[in-house]
Amino acid sequence: VGMGRTVVELFYDVVSPYSWLGFEVLCRYQHIWNVDLRFRPAFLGGIMQATGNKPPAILPKRAEYLQKDIKRMAKYYQVPVQISEGDFQRVLGKSTLPAMRFITAIDMTEPRYLEPLSREFWIRFWSQHEDISQPENMLAVAGQAGLSSELAQKLLEMISSPAVKNRLKETTEEAIKYGAFGMPAVVAHLDGEPHLFFGSDRLELLGSVIGE
């Protein structure tokens, strides 16, 4: 860590399209801003449950808006999120728990693959609309991200281990402790104080607070 670099943590789950937008924007800024960006894969379901939050798309008017909003943001940030009418229903019926455990396992073993692997999971889920909870799809995602089949197989075995389950649970609890109620949750550490920013539309504000 360079002198005076601000540690910025990004808590995310690949079920969240806004997390993808925030992730890509922070990936672009991490080399321009004086930040030490840390990816923190967590489980959105756990955060929602702990805080009593509900998926925003449950409200029909909001679902209508979200569809337009995500399309606009995808175009503006050049991120290939493809969103259509039935997507929110599809997402509500799918658990990303296995995928987030798989991502957690790479973070624990080969963290240099964390960024490309997370991105490939979003692409598979939000651009190609595939079920990422299936083992064969997880292995395909890993291949796309440049992992060897041996490593991918090892990660698949790791997702049922207590070590991986606990790590994901702890990261999720950490996000909640910082005040997260949804995702993405971005935490900037300034002068020993954590500053929470929710969503992918507060990144200019984050930049301003950290002096960029």
For the annotated catalytic residues, the residue numbers are 16
Distances (CA, A) of 81 to 3, 48, 75, 122: 36, 22, 9, 8
149: left (phi over 0), alpha (psi -120 to 50) or beta: alpha
Q: Is 116 exposed, middle or buried (0-12, 13-18, 19+ CB in 10 A)?
A: middle
Q: Which residue carries 């789950």 as its tokens?
A: 13
Residue type for position 62: R
Using only C-alpha atoms, the chain has a radius of gyration, in whole angstroms, of 17
* Contact criterion met (CB below 8 Å) for 104 and 82: no
Task: Quote the CA–CA distance of 79 and 115 in Å, as a whole number.
Answer: 15
Mapped onto helix, strand or coil, the DSSP state of residue 164 is: helix
